[in-house]
Amino acid sequence: MKRFRFRMIIPAYPDSGNIYSHVARRTTTLGAIVIATIVSRLLGWEVEIVDENNCSHRSRRKSRFGHFCPKDKFGRPDHLKLQEMRPADVVGFYGSLSSTIPRLFEVAALYKSLGVKTIAGGSHVSNLPEEALSNNIDVVAYAYHEKIDGVEVANSGDGEEIIKELLSAWQNAGTINHVKGVAYLDKDGQMVKTEKRPPITDFSAYPFPDFGLLMYAKVKIFPVSWWRGCPFNCEFCAVKGKPRCSPAERLFENIVYLVENFGATKFFLVDDQVGGNHQLTDDIQETIKAFELIAGYEKETGIRLSFTVQIRLSGSDHLDLLKAMRKAGVDNVCIGYESPIDEDLKAMRKGLLAKDMIDRTLVFHRLGFNIHGMFIIFYPRKKDEPKTKLAVDDVVRIYRRFIKDAKIRTVQVLFTIPLPGTELRDRLMAEGRIYPLSQIGWKFYDGQYPIIPPDDGALPEEYQRAVIRIMAGFYNPVHLVKIIDSFLRFMVIVPPSVLTLPTLKVRYITTSFRVWRRKFFQTSAIRFGGSLIVRNWLKKYAEGDFPARLRAAEAELKKQNNNLGS
């Protein structure tokens, strides 16, 4: 029986000083692992995953694929060499992040030239299947949004069943028109969409993601998921629809599986909202149950786990949930504040005002969470809405003051990104307010560049400088001095605890060390490290051609809108 090889590829971030590149070298993308795991269970298929953002030239820890990762002249995985070493019959691409799409299409073109079948899924390509099919992708798992009985049903291209049916058809030289939820080009070059595939609601039938399929990667932070969908209705977000969840035991068993098979101790719960819909008691109770199971496992085994989760400020209403999270080792919470300006929050449909956010944040502080604040700046208002009367300097001042008052440990302040599949992009496209892709392409869709013309008379360069001022002010090299000071404090805090050794209880020493690390060292170290990342981005920005592209984009957009007006 012929054996086939499936290679899953996670395309690299653009080489523009992307602020997420550092973290990407310590983790990987869960969706790609999920799909590859499904394929690995199919008869006759060998599977491997290449994460271009986490692919060491020479790994210290040998995997079953060996140490060596072939690299091209740009330091990225050499796919020609990989194909020579282990020829793939089918290559799958993770296409969720818009900024990685140019690289995805580049690699897809290479594999297509070698006669390899290509497929893609993920938020970006699933919402723009025509684009992917015209760029060397054979089949795309497409997304759709619709309302059934007044309830929005969203399917962002769930791929577990699609990949099984698709590969089975190709393996047996059959057609794919019966595979629900895919798009492809017919013999006349016209796009064909097969019948819609209902969203997956029962995840218990699928295996846990197998991180052992990753080639050359060193995963320190393991991504896990429990929910799909989001009950909220933010204009800028593509993740919507009634949450679909597994029982608490499923999350618990997944954590245990990763701890005992891969030595995992650090996790990132990638779900957009931990606990699903906080307005539903059943969701809250199921989430508490999951974290109580994890806490019990940690107590029984003596293993200390650390979790990072995403949660809305509404979580502050549920102290039982937050206490269960802390007990289980949830140290870090990522909170989407989005803006400290009420008019922006209303335009985003966040359902919260700035005056409430500080008080809710204090609840998280009192329980000992580290807070990562996520902000969107200069949100575009609707044409019939009043424009902000704030000067750019005033916006910078308001953001800085809010971040300081909320005592946020780490922040990201990004430009509004009109992503495919969002109501925001649809609105701005209709209003002629997005810079043309011919000038400001997908690689700039990472939140670090202005994609939308200012609507308050300011220049886009002013917006750019404002973001730099906030980020560079927060992640400042002065924190190196604070790191040095923290070591002086170490001598005051930790050594005295050694005197407790006669009690035979080392917890006094470990507790004092954790207090020192958390209160004095870690924050300064993170912010100093952040200053190096910001400095690298500024260097890449200065070396790049974005200012010239921006000027050309402004001229082209003005011409387009004038033509439409005439």
The amino acid that residue 428 corresponds to is L
Tens digits of residue pLDDT in 215-248: 999 899 999 998 887 777 788 888 877 778 888 9
Burial group, residue 260, by CB count within 10 angstroms (0-12, 13-18, 19+): exposed
Q: Which of 147-151, 336-340, 396-400 has the lowest mean pLDDT?
A: 147-151
Tens digits of residue pLDDT in 164-188: 999 999 998 889 999 999 999 999 9
pLDDT at residue 69, rounded to an integer? 85
The amino acid that residue 452 corresponds to is I
pLDDT at residue 68, rounded to an integer? 77
pLDDT at residue 222, rounded to an integer? 98
pTM of structure: 0.91
Tens digits of residue pLDDT in 99-147: 999 999 999 999 999 999 999 999 999 999 999 999 999 999 998 877 6
pLDDT at residue 1, rounded to an integer? 66
E strands in 316-388 = 330-338, 370-377
Contacts of 256 (CB under 8 A, 6+ apart): 297
Q: Supply the Cα-derived Rg of the chain in whole angstroms.
A: 24
Contact 243, 57 (CB under 8 A): no
Give the 3-state secondary structure of residue 228.
strand
Burial group, residue 431, by CB count within 10 angstroms (0-12, 13-18, 19+): middle
Tens digits of residue pLDDT in 345-363: 888 888 888 889 999 999 9
d(CA 356, CA 274): 21
> How confident is residue 491, by pLDDT bands cut at 50, 70 and 90?
confident
E strands in 158-238 = 182-185, 191-193, 222-224, 227-230
Q: What secondary structure does DSSP assign to 428-454, as a single string?
A: HHHTT-S--TTTS-GGGTTSSS--S--
